[in-house]
Amino acid sequence: MNCSPTSIANFTEKSPDESERPSGNSINPLSRMELTAPQKLIQNTPQKRQPNQSLPVVPSEISCSSPTKRIKQDPSLFRTLPLKYELCPMKDLVILISSMIQELISTNDNLPPRSNTLTRFHSRTPPGISVFEYLQRLAKHTTLTPPLLLSMVYYIDQLCLLYPDFIINSLTVHRFLITACTVASKGLSDAFLNNAMYARVGGINFSELGLLELDFLYRLDWKIIPNSKSLANYYRGLVARSGNYKIEDENFPVKNNINHIETKDLKNSKTGQDGNHRNESQIKTPKNIVSKNQE
C-alpha cells in the first residue's frame, strides 16, 4: 500500500486566557477544545530511591531519545502484581508496556531508513512527548482497561508478523498507539468513545484518524480480537522482562489492596475525579498535530 507520510509537530500548551485565533493551517481545528498534552520529555536523569521506598518508580529513561535500561534490584523491592491480568493496576501496566515499546523503538531507530516503507503512520519528526506520557494520556482520557492495553501489544506482534517492513519506531509509534487504542476499544469493549474524542486525546485530525483506523484494520485483515490466553501470555512476558515487578505466587495471592486499579489517577474518561459525568469540553486536546495535507 502506497501511503503518503504525515507529520506530527511537537505538542504545545495553550494558556486558558489566550485568545483563540487560527494561525494559518498549522493549528489543528480541534485545538479550540481547550486541551493540552504534556510538552516535555521525561528527562534522562536517574531518580534516587529513598531508603524506605519499596515500590518501583516510573522509569526516568522512558523517552524518545534514549533506551530503557534494566537494573538488577533486590527481589524484596519488587512490586507484586496480581496473577490475573484483568486485575493489574493500569498505572503498572502502562509502565510495563511503555518500557517494552521504548526498547523496541531504541532498536528500530538504529536501523537504516528505507524510503519505500513509508506509511500513513509515519511522521516527519518524532513528536515531543514520550511513549510513557502518551500511553498514560490515552489510559487517562479514554476507556482503556488492562485487556485493551494488552491487545495493543498483540497488534504490534501481528503487524510485525504480517508486514515485516512495518516498523514501530519514534516516527510511527504515536499514531500506531492512538489507532490501536481506537480499534481495541471498539472491537473489545461495550463502552467506547467516538472518533472525534479519540482524535482530540491523540492529538491528530478527525479525518486522519479515520484513515489510520481503516488502514490498520485492513493490515490486520479485521482480526482484532485476541483470545484471553494470548493476553495472559503477553502479561506474563511483560512482567518477566521487567526489573521491578513479579507476579504473585498462585498459592499465596496478594491482598486485594493492590487491585484498586488506581481509580484516582487513571479514571474512566467520562467521569471526573468527583465521579460526575465529564463533558467533552472538559477534556483538553493537544494542538499543532497536523497531517501533510494541512501544511
Measured distance CA(255)–CA(263) in Å, rounded? 17
Cell of 199: 482524535
In a domain, 4, yes or no: no
Helix or strand or coil: residue 273?
A: coil
Q: How far is CA 120 from the centre of its chain?
A: 18
Helix or strand or coil: residue 33?
A: helix
267 pLDDT above the threshold of 60 = no
Cell of 8: 506530527
In a domain, 200, yes or no: yes
Count of structural domains within the chain? 1
In the chain, the percentage of residues whose pLDDT exceeds 70 is 58
In a domain, 193, yes or no: yes
Predicted local distance difference test score (pLDDT) of residue 243? 80
Measured distance CA(131)–CA(103) in Å, rounded? 11
The residue that leads in pLDDT, 16 or 75, is: 75
Predicted local distance difference test score (pLDDT) of residue 143? 84
In a domain, 124, yes or no: yes
Cell of 121: 503512520
Query: What is the residue range of 201's domain?
Result: 90-239
In a domain, 102, yes or no: yes
The residue that leads in pLDDT, 282 or 149, is: 149
Helix or strand or coil: residue 84?
A: coil
In a domain, 72, yes or no: no
Closest Cα to residue 172, out of 201, 215, 206, 220? 215
Mean pLDDT of the chain, nearest integer: 71
CATH of the domain at 166: 1.10.472.10
Amino acid identity of 65?
S
Task: For residue range 175-190, list pLDDT tens digits in order.
Answer: 999 999 999 999 998 8
In a domain, 233, yes or no: yes
Closest Cα to residue 145, out of 199, 218, 212, 84? 84
In a domain, 7, yes or no: no
Q: Give me the mean pLDDT over the 20-24 stretch.
A: 38
Q: What is the pTM of this model?
A: 0.62
